[in-house]
Amino acid sequence: YQRRVRGTIQIECFQHGLTGAEIKEMNDGGVCSEVELKYGRERYLKWSDFLLETRAGNVTETDVGCGAEPSRWDILFTTPFLNKPLTQKMIDSLRSGWDILEDFVGATVTESFIRHFKFYHKEE
Protein backbone atom coordinates (compact mmCIF):
# COMPACT_ATOMS: atom_id res chain seq x y z
CA TYR A 1 0.00 0.00 0.00
CA GLN A 2 1.31 3.47 -0.79
CA ARG A 3 -0.14 6.89 -0.07
CA ARG A 4 1.00 10.19 -1.57
CA VAL A 5 1.84 12.84 1.01
CA ARG A 6 2.54 16.27 -0.47
CA GLY A 7 4.84 15.06 -3.19
CA THR A 8 6.23 12.11 -1.25
CA ILE A 9 5.03 8.56 -1.02
CA GLN A 10 4.32 6.71 2.21
CA ILE A 11 4.77 2.98 1.77
CA GLU A 12 3.59 0.10 3.95
CA CYS A 13 4.16 -3.55 2.98
CA PHE A 14 1.85 -6.21 4.38
CA GLN A 15 2.14 -9.99 4.62
CA HIS A 16 -1.18 -10.43 2.82
CA GLY A 17 -2.98 -8.70 0.00
CA LEU A 18 -5.27 -5.91 1.14
CA THR A 19 -8.92 -5.89 0.21
CA GLY A 20 -10.45 -2.92 -1.55
CA ALA A 21 -12.24 -2.01 1.68
CA GLU A 22 -8.97 -2.03 3.64
CA ILE A 23 -7.27 0.19 1.07
CA LYS A 24 -10.26 2.54 1.03
CA GLU A 25 -10.19 2.78 4.83
CA MET A 26 -6.50 3.74 4.78
CA ASN A 27 -6.96 6.22 1.96
CA ASP A 28 -10.06 7.80 3.50
CA GLY A 29 -8.18 8.23 6.78
CA GLY A 30 -6.04 10.87 5.15
CA VAL A 31 -2.39 11.68 5.54
CA CYS A 32 -2.49 11.72 9.35
CA SER A 33 -4.41 8.47 9.70
CA GLU A 34 -2.79 5.68 11.66
CA VAL A 35 -5.29 3.03 10.58
CA GLU A 36 -2.44 0.85 9.30
CA LEU A 37 -1.26 0.42 12.90
CA LYS A 38 -4.16 -1.92 13.61
CA TYR A 39 -2.46 -4.51 11.38
CA GLY A 40 0.42 -4.83 13.86
CA ARG A 41 2.95 -7.50 12.90
CA GLU A 42 1.24 -8.10 9.55
CA ARG A 43 3.14 -5.05 8.33
CA TYR A 44 6.53 -6.50 7.53
CA LEU A 45 7.93 -3.27 6.10
CA LYS A 46 6.72 -0.11 7.79
CA TRP A 47 7.06 3.52 6.80
CA SER A 48 9.15 4.06 9.94
CA ASP A 49 11.62 1.47 8.60
CA PHE A 50 12.19 3.68 5.56
CA LEU A 51 12.65 6.77 7.72
CA LEU A 52 15.43 5.12 9.71
CA GLU A 53 17.48 4.14 6.65
CA THR A 54 20.51 6.06 5.40
CA ARG A 55 19.53 8.58 2.77
CA ALA A 56 21.35 9.54 -0.39
CA GLY A 57 20.96 12.57 -2.61
CA ASN A 58 18.95 15.64 -1.77
CA VAL A 59 16.47 14.41 0.87
CA THR A 60 14.57 16.86 3.06
CA GLU A 61 12.20 15.89 5.86
CA THR A 62 8.98 17.86 5.76
CA ASP A 63 6.45 18.22 8.53
CA VAL A 64 3.11 17.30 6.98
CA GLY A 65 1.22 18.81 9.90
CA CYS A 66 -0.14 15.73 11.59
CA GLY A 67 0.31 17.12 15.06
CA ALA A 68 3.11 14.82 16.12
CA GLU A 69 4.16 15.36 19.69
CA PRO A 70 7.24 17.55 19.97
CA SER A 71 10.40 15.77 21.01
CA ARG A 72 13.32 17.00 23.05
CA TRP A 73 15.40 16.17 19.97
CA ASP A 74 13.56 18.73 17.80
CA ILE A 75 16.11 21.35 18.86
CA LEU A 76 18.59 19.52 16.65
CA PHE A 77 16.52 20.60 13.62
CA THR A 78 17.34 24.25 14.38
CA THR A 79 19.98 26.26 12.51
CA PRO A 80 22.76 26.01 15.12
CA PHE A 81 22.74 22.20 14.82
CA LEU A 82 21.17 20.98 11.58
CA ASN A 83 23.67 19.70 9.00
CA LYS A 84 26.64 20.67 11.16
CA PRO A 85 29.19 18.41 12.89
CA LEU A 86 28.27 17.99 16.56
CA THR A 87 30.87 19.60 18.81
CA GLN A 88 31.45 19.66 22.54
CA LYS A 89 30.68 23.40 22.44
CA MET A 90 27.22 22.61 21.00
CA ILE A 91 26.56 20.07 23.73
CA ASP A 92 27.75 22.51 26.40
CA SER A 93 25.46 25.24 25.01
CA LEU A 94 22.50 22.86 25.30
CA ARG A 95 23.35 22.06 28.91
CA SER A 96 23.98 25.63 30.01
CA GLY A 97 20.92 26.89 28.16
CA TRP A 98 18.65 24.83 30.39
CA ASP A 99 20.50 25.46 33.67
CA ILE A 100 18.81 28.87 34.02
CA LEU A 101 15.48 27.12 34.58
CA GLU A 102 16.68 25.85 37.97
CA ASP A 103 15.97 29.34 39.34
CA PHE A 104 12.31 28.94 38.33
CA VAL A 105 11.47 25.57 39.88
CA GLY A 106 7.82 25.71 40.96
CA ALA A 107 6.84 28.36 38.41
CA THR A 108 3.99 27.52 36.05
CA VAL A 109 5.13 27.23 32.46
CA THR A 110 2.71 29.52 30.62
CA GLU A 111 2.91 31.13 27.19
CA SER A 112 4.18 34.37 28.74
CA PHE A 113 6.79 32.40 30.71
CA ILE A 114 8.07 30.89 27.45
CA ARG A 115 7.92 34.25 25.64
CA HIS A 116 10.06 35.75 28.42
CA PHE A 117 12.80 33.21 27.81
CA LYS A 118 12.55 33.51 24.05
CA PHE A 119 12.92 37.30 24.26
CA TYR A 120 15.43 37.75 27.10
CA HIS A 121 17.48 34.59 26.72
CA LYS A 122 18.03 34.23 23.00
CA GLU A 123 20.23 31.44 21.66
CA GLU A 124 23.80 32.51 21.11
- Max mean pLDDT among 4-13, 37-46, 67-76, 91-100 falls in 91-100
Q: pLDDT value at position 3? A: 56
| pTM, 2 dp | 0.39
Say if residue 37 is exposed, middle or buried (CB neighbours under 10 Å; 0-12, 13-18, 19+): exposed
Higher-confidence residue: 6 or 16? Answer: 16
Q: How far apart are CA 68 and CA 66, in angstroms?
A: 6
Q: pLDDT value at position 87? A: 92
